[in-house]
Amino acid sequence: MTSASLGVALAVRTLGFLIAVPISGVLSDRSGPRPVIFASGIAGAAGLPIIFVGIFAGEQWTLLLLIVGAIVVGIGQGACRPAYQSIIPEIVPVEGLQAANAALSISVRVTSIVGPALVGLIVLGPGIEIAFLAIAALWLTSALAPPAGRTRRIDDGLPSVGKLTLGNIFHDFIEGAGEARRHPWFVTGLVCLTITIAAGYSVTAVLLPGISQEVSGGASLMTATATSYMVGALFGALLMARWRPSNKGWVALLGLCFYGLAPLSLLATETMVVPLAAYLVAGIGIEMFNVPWFTSIQNEIPQNRLSRVSSLDFLFSYGLAPSGLALMSPLTETLGREVVLVGTGLLCLAGPAIAMFLPTVRHFSREPQT
């Protein structure tokens, strides 16, 4: 399996993700999130045998099977995101939503650290076949474990009706976009999040490996900052499980500002303490944003449009991230690394800070707060 084949597989997986996200949002609002979660888990599990066969197939089949398997897995990953967000308020009381979202963030951070290590141990021990079976089993668990929602929140709109055609899917998605526009705080927050991911995350993905090689002669700096970021995110999620700030929108955007410290810290790598501290604070900040953000979406958006609005969240914030990755190297070659680091850092700091002055952002709600 060549690096080029791996790159193609990752690209088509992202394509599958982006295709599935808006369609999943529509289907989840039409039929409820539980069937979509089931289908996404089955898709994720079904793509793995195709990838496995592709890895060991003859050269003429490898790339084709990798593409097919990766896009199926990407569809499973994309389909589950808005459905998971919309099932939470169906199974968790309103007063427990923030704690539930914090728990979800903690689970993501823990598995991001533990998962690759466990898969590596399985590959070195029982073998790659068992590793693939274990991942497929996790997908099937994801498909079967979540309970059905007990009740759906009553709102002033009717659920989408009509046959499931491409025209109706498009109509339903546009209706979800219209619902999103009714919440200025959501549009503002989504713009800020998209900027942070497209600019700040791209620095970490594209420039940090090269800086790490220069500074430490290997991946030491990159590994240390990734660990520091994960530790900070865990702490941030634990903090937000308990803390209920009155001005939650301002707190969330302040947390998002913290990611601007990460690119700026890479200008001061003479000592590893500076980037480690910056990535720790960035990790705390991202969960200061994520937990109130998801909780506010679940509280403020009518239940029968929640999946579609959540799909917009993932579609824009993660869908536009590849553009940042693609532009990072050309910008660095044209402007210089220092200029790009300063520019992305200031952009990540300034965007959320300016957004704090916009209407409805203070509380992430259209309704006035007492």
At 21, the pLDDT band (50, 70, 90 cuts) reads very high
Q: Cα(20)–Cα(131) distance, rounded to whole angstroms?
A: 26
**Residue 150 confidence (pLDDT) above 70:** no
Global confidence as pTM:
0.90
Mean pLDDT, the chain, whole residue set: 89
pLDDT class for 368, splitting at 50, 70, 90? low
* pLDDT at 160 exceeding the cut of 70: no
Confidence bin at 39 (pLDDT 50/70/90): very high
Model pLDDT, residue 56:
81
State the pLDDT at residue 215.
87
More confident residue, 340 or 1: 340
Q: Coil, helix or strand for 59?
A: helix
- Residue-range domains of the chain with CATH: 3-94+127-152 (1.20.1250.20), 184-355 (1.20.1250.20)
The 10s digit of each residue's pLDDT in 77-119 is 999 999 999 999 999 999 999 999 999 999 988 888 888 888 8
Q: CA-CA distance, 225 to 229, in Å (whole number)?
A: 6
Residue 157 pLDDT exceeds 70: no
Q: What is the pLDDT of residue 17?
A: 92
Q: Give me the pLDDT at residue 26, please.
A: 95
What confidence score (pLDDT) does residue 369 get?
65
Tell me the pLDDT band of 161, cut-offs 50, 70 and 90.
low
Out of 11-15, 55-59, 317-321, 355-359, give the one with best mean pLDDT.
355-359
Q: Tell me the pLDDT tens digit for each residue of 300-309.
A: 999 899 999 9
Give pLDDT tens digits for 213-255.
Answer: 988 888 889 989 999 999 999 999 999 999 999 999 999 999 9
Contacts 24+ apart (CB under 8 A), 274-281: 275/221, 275/224, 275/225, 275/228, 276/224, 276/225, 276/228, 277/228, 279/225, 279/226, 279/228, 279/229, 279/232, 280/228, 280/229, 280/231, 280/232, 281/232
Q: What is the pLDDT of residue 82?
A: 94
Residue range 64-84, pLDDT digits in tens: 899 999 999 999 999 999 999
pLDDT tens track for 244-295 = 999 999 999 999 999 999 999 999 988 899 999 999 999 999 999 999 999 9
pLDDT attached to residue 321: 73
Indicate if the pLDDT at residue 158 is higher than 70. Answer: no
- Split at pLDDT 50, 70, 90, the class of 328 is confident
